Structure 1
Amino acid sequence: MIETELGWLTVPLAMLAGAIRVSTPFLFVSLGECLTEKSGRINLGLEGTLVFGAMTGYATSYHTGSPWLGVLAAGIAGSLFGALHGFICKLPKVNDIAIGIALMLFGTGLAFFFGKPYIQPQAPRLPSIGLGSWSDVPQIRSALDINPLFLVGIVLAIALWWAFKNTRWGLIVRMTGDSAPAARAMGYSVDLVRFLATTAGGFLAGVGGAFLSLSYPGAWTEGLSSGQGLMAVALVIFARWNPLACFGAALLFGAAGALGPALQSVGITQGYYFFNAAPYLLTLFIMIASVSPKRSLKGAPGELSITK
C-alpha cells in the first residue's frame, strides 16, 4: 500500500501546486506588461484591467455556460482598456503613469459596479488537466492538476521571447521602445506601434483575470486580485524585460503566495498572516533592489519614463 501521509513533503508539493496556480495570472499580466513596456510605454492600469477581465469572464461564463467564451470575452474587455490607455497616451503632454493609475481605478470601480449581481451565482469553471493521475497519492495528484491556461502562458512566453529576437515586428517593437526618433526615421508610426502593443498587453491581462474568476480561486469577489496587476510591473522589472524570465519570476511569485497555505497544511499556524504577505514583501524587495544606486535598470527600453 502506498503511503499517503507525506509529512513535510506536503510543503514543497503544496508550494509546487500553488506556484502553478497562483503564477498563471502573474504570467499573463507580466507578459502583457512586458510587451507594452518593450514598445516604450508603462501601463499601471493593468490592475484594473485584470479585475474587469475577471468580472467579464465570470459573467460571460455564467450567461453562456461556456468558460472558454468567458476567457475570450475577458481578453476582449482587456484589449478595450488597453486601447483606451493607448489612445489617451497619444495625446500631447499626457503622462502614461498618471493615465494608468486613473484607468486602474476606473476599471476596478466599473468591475465592482457591474459585478455585484455575480457575487453569489456559480458560473461554469475552466477544466483542468490531471497530469498526476498516475499516482495514488492525493497530494501529488492535486499538485499536478494543471489548468490549460498555464500551458498556454508557457507557450506565449517562449513565442514572445523568440519573436522579439527573430521577427520583423519584434524588431519594430524593440526599436520603438529604445528610440522613438530611430523608429520615425525608419518610417514607422511610434504612436501606432505603442497603441497596438498596449492593446495586446491589455488582452493578455484580461485573460489573466479570467483565470482568477474561472479557475483559481474560481469565483467572482471584489477582493479577487489583491494587487496582482501592480505586482506584475515589479515582476517585469525583476525579469529585465525578458518574456522567458517573466515565466520564472511568475513561478517565484506564485510559490511565495503559496507559502502560507503550505505551512498551514502541516499545522504551522503561528505567523500565518506574515507568510501570506510574502508576495508583497518580495515585490518591495525587488523594487528597492531595482532602483538602488548599485543596480541600474539594465535592459530597460530607453523610452520608458522610469529611465529618463
Structure 2
Amino acid sequence: MDETGVGLWGVPLAILAGAVRVSTPFIFVSLGETITERSGRINLGLEGTLVFGAMTAYAVAVISGSPWLGVLAAMCTGAVFGLVHGWICKWPKVNDIAIGIALMQFGLGLAFFLGKPYIQPAAPRLPSIPFGAWSQVPQIEAALNINVLFLIGAVLAAVLWWAFRNTRIGIVLRVVGDSTDAARAMGIDPDRVRLLATAVGGSLAAIGGAYLSLYYPGSWNEGISSGQGLMAVALVIFARWNPIGCFLAALLFGGAGALGPALQSVGVSQGYYLFYATPYVLTLIILIATSSPTRALAGAPGALSLTK
C-alpha cells in the first residue's frame, strides 16, 4: 500500500472519479445530438455551442453570483444556435455538415472574442453532493463527490429513453426522423419538428459547456474543450441513438479520458501521457467500426442524411 493509503486501488478510484467528472459534458451533448438526429438532422456545430455555452455560463455567473443563472443563460444561447442551424438547414439541398462546421467556427470565434474579459475573474461553482463523506480516505471522498449536473444527466437519459417510446412527442420525433413523406402524410410539419429538435439539442449541449466552466475544470479559457462536441457525435452513433446507451458510452469515454491522470496518480511517470489520447483513439475506432458502404447502421433514423 502506498502513502495515499489506497495502493493500486488508486487507479480504479481515479478512473471512477474521472469517468463521472469527464463524462458529464459528453452526456448532455450526446443526449442533445440524439434528439436532433432522431428528427433526421445532424448538427456538427455542437462544439461551438459547447464552448459558447461555457463562456456564457461563466460570464453570467461572474456578473450575477449565481452558477444556476449561468446554466440557464447557456441553455438560452445554445437554443439560439440550434434555431439558427435548424432554420438554415430547412432549405432544400443545404448541406448539414457544412452549416454545422460553419456555425462551430462562428461559435468558437465569438466565444473567444466575448470571453476575454472573463478569463481572470472567479465564478461561483456548481454544487456537488458528497456521497463519500462517510469515508476518511481522501481518494474515496473525491471519487464519490458527484456534481448535481451528472445526476440530472442520468435522470434525463432515462426520461428520454422512456419518452421516445411512450409519448406523443417522442413518436412524432421518430416518425419525422424515419420518413419525411410519412410525417407529411400524417399532417406533421417535418421542418418545424426538426427546428425545435435542433434547438433543444443545442440547449442541452450548452449545459455541457456550463459544466466545464463552472465545475470541472471550473474556469473559462480558450482551450476549455478538447473536441468533446465533435466526439459526442461519434458517441451517439456508438450508442445507436439510444439515450441510455449515450449515458453509458459517455461514462466509457470519461473513463478513457481519466486513464492517463489515474496512472500518474500512482507514480507512473513515463509514457502515461500517451493515455491522454485514449478518447480520441476510441472515437476513431468507433467511426471505423461503424462505417460500411453496404449496410445501414442499426437504429439509425431513416431520414438522417447530409442534405435535405
TM range (shorter): over 0.9
Distance in 2 separating the partners of 1:295 and 1:183: 24
Q: Which residue of 2 aligns with 1:140?
A: 140
Deviates more, 1:86-95 or 1:11-20: 86-95
Distance in 1 separating the partners of 2:105 and 2:272: 30
State the Cα distance separating 1:92 from its structure 2 match: 2.4
Distance in 2 separating the partners of 1:226 and 1:25: 11
User: Deviation digits for residues 101-157 of structure 1, max 9, x if unmatched?
Assistant: 100000000000001111111111111110000111110000000100000001110
Q: Does the 8 A contact of 1:290 with 1:296 survive in 2?
A: no
Distance 1:306-1:298 versus aligned 2 partners, 3 A rule: farther
State the Cα distance separating 1:91 from its structure 2 match: 1.8
What is the 5 A alignment of 1:217-296? 217-292=217-292, 296=296
Distance in 1 separating the partners of 2:307 and 2:267: 46
SS of the counterpart of 2:121?
A: coil
Gaps of 5+ in 1: none
SS of the counterpart of 1:212?
A: helix
Q: Which residue of 2 aligns with 1:210?
A: 210
SS of the counterpart of 1:299?
A: coil
Give the fraction of aligned pairs with identical amino acids, expressed as a percent.
72
SS of the counterpart of 1:129?
A: strand
User: Deviation digits for residues 38-97 of structure 1, max 9, x if unmatched?
Assistant: 000000000000000000000000000000000110111101000110111112221111
Q: Which residue of 1 aligns with 2:39?
A: 39
SS of the counterpart of 2:204?
A: helix
Count how many residue pairs are aligned between Structure 1 and Structure 2: 306
Distance in 2 separating the partners of 1:197 and 1:281: 30
4+ residue runs over 6 A deviation: none
Q: Which residue of 2 aligns with 1:92?
A: 92
Distance in 2 separating the partners of 1:295 and 1:260: 36
Matched, 1:17 2:17: yes
Q: Does the 8 A contact of 1:86 with 1:199 survive in 2?
A: yes
Q: Which residue of 2 aligns with 1:108?
A: 108
SS of the counterpart of 2:92?
A: coil
Distance 1:23-1:295 versus aligned 2 partners, 3 A rule: farther
Q: Does the 8 A contact of 1:67 with 1:126 survive in 2?
A: yes
The TM-score normalised by the length of structure 1 is 0.97
Distance in 1 separating the partners of 2:243 and 2:212: 21
State the Cα distance separating 1:296 from its structure 2 match: 4.1
Q: Does the 8 A contact of 1:300 with 1:307 survive in 2?
A: no
Distance in 2 separating the partners of 1:145 and 1:282: 27
Distance in 2 separating the partners of 1:37 and 1:61: 31
Matched, 1:200 2:200: yes
AA aligned opposite 2:147: N
Q: Does the 8 A contact of 1:289 with 1:295 survive in 2?
A: no
State the Cα distance separating 1:305 from its structure 2 match: 1.1
Q: Which residue of 2 aligns with 1:127?
A: 127
The TM-score normalised by the length of structure 2 is 0.97
Distance in 2 separating the partners of 1:77 and 1:146: 26
AA aligned opposite 2:151: L
Gaps of 5+ in 2: none
State the Cα distance separating 1:4 from its structure 2 match: 5.2
Superposed CA RMSD: 1.4
Q: Which residue of 1 aligns with 2:80?
A: 80
AA aligned opposite 2:282: L
AA aligned opposite 2:164: F
Q: Which residue of 2 aligns with 1:299?
A: 299
